[in-house]
Amino acid sequence: VTALAPLGQQMAPYACQRRTPLLHSNQPLTEALETLAEEAGFSGSEGRSLAFTRAASVLKALPGRLSALEELGPLPGIGEHSRRVIQDVLEDGVSVEVERVKLSERYRTMKLFTKIFGVGVRTASRWYQEGLRTLLDLQERNTKLTRQQQAGLRHYDDLNTPVERGEAESVGRTVQEAVQRFLPGASVTLAGGFRRGKPRGHDVDLLLTHPEAGREAGLLSRLVSWLDSQGLILYQHSQENSFALCEGPEPPGSRDVLDRFERCFSIFRLEAQGGPGAARGWKAVRVDLVVAPVSQFPFALLGWTGSRHFERELRRFASHERKMVLNSHALYDTMRKRFLPAASEEEIFQHLGLEYVPPGQRNA
Ligand code: TTP
Ligand code: MN
Ligand code: MN
Ligand code: MN
């Protein structure tokens, strides 16, 4: 018998050093691990959640289907617990631990609640503690909801129906046409999962900029009021730009504050394109609008293309391996004490000494 080289032999330690395609051969394994990552997140165990996410991400980058644990070799980034789960799924087709999680009342309730737009782990957890279990419970017990959560609940079914690529492109065109009324020459770029090649997603992420610096100022509020006046907006809350380069970059520890662009979290009323919303004539779709000045655009594009794990790994690589701070606005070299400008995503990878990873390979 020829000894096969371990599948994971050449695996680089950071996800941003690897190519991770959208489709891979180890779906049952990554699903199991991601369920445990999610469950750990629901319990506030961020470290444990990250460990499972990392393990799943490594499997997504394997060149083929794993059929035995030994094929992994001494891979970095897959801990003992994850190995046990992988082994169970390989041997039995399922992991008893994962199946137990999926059936547990807490996991199911947390999932139900966190799928409400505007409800995070904290809120869902509190409601669970208070004995709430269903969406009806929220209404019947007059649970205090923010305006965002009310909108989330009102459009719960639509917002938990995947957005198809065609729908995302349609939203993009609508925004593009509206933007041209106020700022000719401005561009609208579809980012997020769709830019990574996903056929469907949970929302539409649109990045706006203008080739002349400063012209983008004030665009968002005019755009949103106009869309609103056309009856295209079911909900929105906007946030002003709170980023000033003179403040310096974010310290690496505070990377949860993802960015400070002028932005709008919204729900669009999209005319039905067929599918579930067709009978009613429209469908509610989550849309994130973000405005970046042109000098920051490549950083914003890189930051808003994801995946979340790919972004986290890029930032970790920058800080641990390069002593640089990367966020969606800039790249800062802490040794040379200066910002490293970039005109494209490629240049950012160059500054970091990383091989360029195209969007379709960032599905870590
Ligand atoms: P998401 O829209 O949450 O995720 P996604 O597009 O990868 O997947 P889905 O199909 O489920 O929508 O986020 C997209 C990227 O935007 C993600 O890499 C992180 C980034 N992002 C920010 O930079 N700041 C933010 O405040 C948010 C919410 C996201
Ligand atoms: Mn463990
Ligand atoms: Mn998205
Ligand atoms: Mn988004």
pLDDT exceeds cutoff 90 at 240: no
Instruction: Please list the residues that pair with 96 across neighbouring strands.
Output: none
Q: DSSP string of 70-122?
A: GGG-S-TT--HHHHHHHHHHHHHSS-HHHHHHHH-HHHHHHHHHHTSTT--HH
CB 231 within 8 A of CB 225: no
Q: Which mutation among 114, 203, 206 tests ligand 1's pocket best, with the greatest number of atoms within 8 A of CB?
A: 203
Q: What pLDDT does residue 258 have?
A: 56
Ligand 1 nearest atom to the CA of residue 310, by list position: 18
pLDDT for residue 275: 67
Least confident of 17-21, 102-106, 255-259, 289-293: 255-259
Using the predicted structure, report yes or no on whether residue 48 has a pLDDT greater than 60. Answer: yes
| pLDDT higher than threshold 50 for residue 302 | yes
Angle ∠(152,177,201) on CA atoms, nearest 5: 40
Test site for ligand 1: of 238, 258, 289, most ligand atoms within 8 A of the Cβ: 258
Residue 356: C-alpha distances to residues 17, 277, 311, 350 (Å): 9, 40, 14, 7
Reported confidence tier of residue 256, pLDDT bands at 50, 70, 90: very low
Residue 15 has pLDDT above 50, yes or no: yes
**Residue whose CA is at the smallest distance from ligand 1 atom 21:** 304
CA-proximal residue: ligand 1, atom 16 (nearest): 304
Name the least confident of 270-274, 307-311, 327-331: 270-274
Q: Which of 188, 234, 239 is nearest to 210 (CA)?
A: 188
Atom of ligand 1 nearest to the CA of 196: 7
The region of weakest confidence among 72-76, 158-162, 344-348 is: 72-76
What residue ranges line ligand 1, CB within 6 angstroms? 192-193, 198, 201-203, 205, 258-259, 303-304, 306-308, 311, 328
Residue 276: pLDDT band by 50, 70, 90 thresholds?
low
Separation CA 50–CA 46 (nearest Å)? 6
Cβ(286)–Cβ(163) under 8 Å? yes
Query: Going by CA atoms, what residue is nearest to atom 14 of ligand 1?
Result: 192
State the average pLDDT over residues 137-163. 97
Alpha-carbon gap, residue 319 to 315, rounded angstroms = 6
Active-site residue numbers? 203, 205, 288
ipTM associated with this complex: 0.94
Task: Quote the ligand 1 centre to 131 CA distance (angstroms).
Answer: 31
Would you say the C-alpha torsion 17, 23, 29, 32 has a positive or negative sign?
positive
* Gap between the Cα atoms of 128 and 134, Å rounded: 10
Radius of gyration of the chain (CA): 22
Least confident of 133-147, 251-265, 285-299: 251-265
Q: Is the pLDDT of residue 128 over 50?
A: yes
What is the residue-averaged pLDDT of the chain?
93
Query: What pTM did the predictor assign?
Result: 0.93
